Amino acid sequence: MQPAKGLAYLLNCFWLLVPILAFNLIFTPSLPRDYQMAAFWKDIPAAVGAPENVLRVLVFLAPLIMRLRLSGPAERLGLALYLAGTLVYFASWWALIASPESACSRSALGFMAPAYTPILFLVGIGLVGKVLFVPGVPYRPWMYWGLSGLFLLFHNLHAGMVYARSH
């Protein structure tokens, strides 16, 4: 059964980002000091921070025009990647919150995990949202993945800078 034409736009991939945004909003205050806004953004050069923020906005708004569909094997694989990636992302935060002084949390790999694990759920979103609501616009999932990859490049560079100065 197809939704009414006006309601079809509500079936967009942004809904997949809502749990991630809610999790971030709820648990950011529980992260270690180096992840708090003032410390995390301290002395980050504009050449890193500006493209990171512009790309973050694009990566998080693009799903508004990506149709949420689970009709084929690629979309189902995308949903599985999204779910697994979301759980891995949440676990990376939980490790930092539950045990901030552990060897894992103090290592570069553990400290930076919240910056690199989104690749899984972002690839999943790209597979689920293979079609845009905008007719006539040529689109392929690699376009969203490319945008996401650029965002993660700057985001990981940023997290690496924070790690380097604090450890």
Q: What is the pLDDT of residues 72-100, one digit of tens each?
A: 999 999 999 999 999 999 999 999 999 99
Residue 13 C-beta-side C-alpha neighbours within 13 Å? 29
- Report H helices in the chain: 18-27, 37-40, 46-61, 73-98, 103-106, 108-111, 113-116, 118-128, 141-166
Partners of 24 in beta bridges = none
pLDDT, tens only, 14-43: 999 999 999 999 999 999 999 999 999 999
Range of the domain at 134: 54-167
The answer to whether the beta carbons of residues 93 and 23 sit under 8 Å apart is yes
Q: Give 69's contacts (C-beta < 8 A, 6+ positions apart).
A: 11, 75, 128, 129, 130, 131
- Give domain status of residue 167, yes or no: yes
- Give domain status of residue 24, yes or no: no
Count of structural domains within the chain: 1
- Give domain status of residue 68, yes or no: yes
Q: Residue 126: which of 143, 138, 111 has the closest Cα?
A: 143
- Give domain status of residue 162, yes or no: yes
- Give domain status of residue 108, yes or no: yes
